[in-house]
Amino acid sequence: MHTGMLWFDNDPKTTLSVKIQKAMDYYNKKFGRIPDICLVHPSMLDGGQKQFELGKLTIRPYQPVMPGHLWIGVEDQK
């Protein structure tokens, strides 16, 4: 993903899934597309997960993303 939307939510009471869903909804409303990739800081995943799916969205750890931030968008075609 070369372009996307940066989303910030540091509320400790909100689960990662809810944060991602809010970011997905906003992205879809703003850009008219449903995102399919979300990059998060590895510390935001439980037990060092490598990657997981939330519906059709793939969530991957990516060290350069700051904790509390989500980098969400559409994965580049290969």
For residue range 13-43, what is the model confidence (pLDDT) as tens digits?
999 999 999 999 999 999 999 999 999 999 9
Q: What is the pTM of this model?
A: 0.89
Domain count, the chain: 1
* Residue 40 within a domain: yes
Alpha-carbon gap, residue 53 to 56, rounded angstroms: 7
The answer to whether residue 44 is domain-embedded is yes
Across the chain, mean pLDDT equals 92
Domain of residue 65: give its range: 5-73
Question: CA 48 → CA 3, 35, 51, 70, 77, distances in Å?
Answer: 26, 23, 9, 17, 27
31 falls within a domain: yes
Has residue 78 been placed in a domain? no
Q: With contact defined as beta carbons under 8 Å apart, do 1 and 75 qualify? A: yes
Per the domain annotation, does 30 fall within a domain?
Answer: yes
Q: How many helices (H) and strands (E) does the chain have?
A: 1, 5
Does residue 49 lie in a domain region?
A: yes
